[in-house]
């Protein structure tokens, strides 16, 4: 990745403007659809709701298991609303977003997607050829386990996407294929999948967990597979704050005819491009054991010929439920430094632009409007839960989509960009 994606925007005066918070006007065409697998909504499958939607619509999904769905060049919010705690929205296949044109946005909230062990095994999330903005919050994505001559799938495969961000999401690579005796002899295809595999894309991770899949035990004459990487960057790159990157464990060689155990995966691997890293944790996977042969090499915390830049500073995070009622208060949890003044600018659209001086990625368009009064001043603990009042929607407005981003002004006078928030206000 060239470093042009990681350059400053403009002087501060052009970025910030103090003003009253307006909470935005509604989009005239916005509509709401309810999906319920048990028949209590407008549709029983998410894909049917997508096909019936137009740009700007919101799709609420009740708890249950659903089939795969694809968003193809359509601006939508897809938000889980399980009626019962512990009854999540699960996609028993891949979620795909593709061909999103400039200015369009897709937002996914509280969805679990589990890739299926097809040939090839499928990732939980596949993003391809998106010029527009893709956002996900509180989602879980799992890659499928490997197949003969196939490694485990990545939790997410992302290619040629120029504005992607994840907040409080987890990604888990699929485990390697467990071969039986002489099933694929001499072929090292039992490797685990990556948590996230990305090429030609720019991403932001806030408070996320990325775990490579473990390779499986090898009991025949091939070399055992390696663990997957937490994040594997083939080109371009990503920013991460307050996130966790774990490499998967290498496969074991348990038989005297299996001479070589597998290597552990890396927490972060940058083959080409750049990773800008702020206050994360990293751990390489363990190398596989080989009682009668050669053990695998442990994975590194970070590795690769690309650029890995550890930023000086501390994470600033925020979180909130994506849904709130008209005229109610949104409960926002904040994590920062004592004395931080926290602001919550909002916008009707999204953005992606790295700003090194602000230790983060702008995920709403600039210039931003800041209310004169911060929503919080953090106490000595550095954490706070605050109630932010929401506007009253008109009777004709069923829902309003709002992009927001937590912004922290330190006691030393430095602005630090925090987590994005995605808010749908409902009547």
* pLDDT for the residue numbered 22: 53
Task: Classify residue 54 by burial, with Cβ atoms within 10 Å: 0-12, 13-18, 19+.
Answer: exposed
Q: Can you tell me the distance from the alpha carbon of 398 to that of 184, in angstroms, rounded to the nearest whole number? A: 56
Q: Can you tell me the distance from the alpha carbon of 295 to that of 305, in angstroms, rounded to the nearest whole number? A: 25
pLDDT band at 25 (very low <50, low <70, confident <90, very high): low
> Which carries the bigger pLDDT value, residue 5 or residue 300?
300
Instruction: Please name the helix (run of DSSP H) or strand (run of DSSP E) that holds residue 49, with its range, or none.
Output: helix 46-52
* pLDDT for the residue numbered 290: 84
Alpha carbon 251 to chain centroid, angstroms: 27
Q: Rg for the chain (alpha carbons), in Å?
A: 22
> 110: which 2 tokens?
């509280």
* pLDDT for the residue numbered 293: 78
What is the residue-wise DSSP string for 309-360? EE-SS---EEEE-SEEETT-EEEEEEE--TT-EEE--EESS---EEEGGGTE
* pLDDT for the residue numbered 179: 60
**With 50 as the cut, is the pLDDT of residue 331 above it?**
yes
* pLDDT for the residue numbered 225: 85
Least confidently predicted of 17-26, 101-110, 168-177, 387-396: 17-26
> 411: which 2 tokens?
């006691």
Q: Can you tell me the distance from the alpha carbon of 303 to that of 118, in angstroms, rounded to the nearest whole number? A: 30
pLDDT digits (tens, 9 = 90+) for 56-89: 999 999 999 999 999 999 999 999 997 777 789 9
User: For 341-369, what is the mean pLDDT?
Assistant: 90
Mean pLDDT of the chain: 88
Q: Can you tell me the distance from the alpha carbon of 423 to that of 353, in angstroms, rounded to the nearest whole number? A: 21
pLDDT digits (tens, 9 = 90+) for 361-416: 999 987 777 777 899 999 999 999 999 999 999 998 999 999 999 999 999 999 99
pLDDT digits (tens, 9 = 90+) for 119-145: 788 999 999 999 999 999 999 999 998
* pLDDT for the residue numbered 333: 97
* pLDDT for the residue numbered 251: 86
Instruction: Write down how long the chain is.
Output: 427
Q: Is 49 in contact with 76 (CB distance < 8 Å)?
A: no
> Which carries the bigger pLDDT value, residue 10 or residue 388?
388
**With 60 as the cut, is the pLDDT of residue 166 above it?**
yes
What is the residue-wise DSSP string for 140-191? EEEPPPPBTTBPPPPSEEEEEESSEEEES-EEEPPPPP---TTTTTT----P
Q: Is 417 in contact with 356 (CB distance < 8 Å)?
A: no
* pLDDT for the residue numbered 147: 73
* pLDDT for the residue numbered 422: 96
Instruction: Please name the helix (run of DSSP H) or strand (run of DSSP E) that holds residue 369, with its range, or none.
Output: strand 368-370
Q: Can you tell me the distance from the alpha carbon of 76 to that of 15, in angstroms, rounded to the nearest whole number? A: 27
Q: Can you tell me the distance from the alpha carbon of 352 to that of 373, in angstroms, rounded to the nearest whole number? A: 26
C-alpha angle 74/77/80, rounded to 5°?
A: 135
Q: Can you tell me the distance from the alpha carbon of 399 to that of 30, in angstroms, rounded to the nearest whole number? A: 8
Q: Can you tell me the distance from the alpha carbon of 59 to that of 53, in angstroms, rounded to the nearest whole number? A: 8
**pTM for the model:** 0.91
Q: Is 50 in contact with 69 (CB distance < 8 Å)?
A: yes
């Amino acid at each position: 990745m060239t470093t042009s994606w990681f350059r400053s925007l403009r002087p501060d005066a052009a970025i910030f403007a103090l003003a009253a918070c307006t909470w935005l006007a509604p989009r005239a065409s916005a509509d709401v659809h309810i999906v319920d697998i048990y028949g209590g909504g407008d549709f029983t499958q998410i894909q049917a709701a997508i096909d019936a939607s137009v740009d700007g619509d919101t799709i609420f999904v009740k708890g249950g298991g659903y089939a795969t769905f694809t968003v193809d060049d359509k601006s939508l919010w897809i938000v889980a609303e399980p009626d019962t705690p512990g009854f999540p929205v699960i996609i028993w296949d891949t979620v795909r977003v593709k061909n999103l044109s400039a200015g369009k946005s897709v937002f996914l909230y509280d969805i679990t997607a589990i890739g299926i062990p097809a040939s090839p095994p499928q990732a939980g999330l596949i993003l391809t050829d998106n010029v527009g903005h893709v956002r996900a919050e509180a989602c879980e994505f799992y890659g499928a386990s490997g197949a003969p001559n196939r490694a485990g799938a990545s939790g997410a495969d992302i290619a040629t996407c120029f504005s992607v961000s994840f907040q409080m999401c987890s990604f888990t690579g699929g485990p390697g294929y467990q071969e039986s005796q002489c099933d694929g002899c001499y072929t090292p295809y039992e490797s685990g999948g990556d948590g996230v595999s990305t090429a030609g894309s720019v991403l932001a991770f806030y408070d996320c967990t990325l775990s490579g899949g473990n390779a499986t035990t090898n009991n025949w004459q091939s070399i055992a597979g390696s663990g997957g990487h937490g994040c594997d960057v083939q080109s371009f790159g990503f920013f991460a704050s307050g996130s966790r990157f774990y490499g998967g464990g290498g496969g074991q060689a348990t038989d005297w005819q299996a001479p070589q155990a597998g290597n552990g995966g890396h927490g972060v691997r940058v083959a080409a491009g750049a990773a800008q890293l702020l206050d994360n944790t990293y751990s390489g996977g363990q190398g596989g054991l080989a009682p009668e042969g050669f053990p695998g090499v442990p994975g590194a915390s970070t590795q690769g010929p690309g650029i890995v830049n550890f930023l000086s500073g501390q994470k600033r995070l925020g979180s909130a439920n994506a849904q709130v009622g008209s005229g109610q208060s949104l409960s926002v949890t904040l994590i920062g430094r004592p004395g931080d003044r926290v602001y919550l600018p909002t916008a009707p659209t999204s953005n992606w632009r790295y700003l090194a001086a602000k230790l983060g990625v702008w995920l709403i368009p600039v210039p931003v409007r800041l209310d004169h009064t911060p929503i919080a001043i953090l106490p000595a603990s550095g954490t706070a839960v605050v109630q932010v009042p929401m506007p009253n929607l008109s009777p004709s407005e069923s829902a309003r989509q709002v992009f927001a981003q937590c912004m922290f002004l330190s006691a030393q006078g430095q602005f630090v960009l925090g987590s994005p928030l995605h808010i749908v206000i409902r009547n």
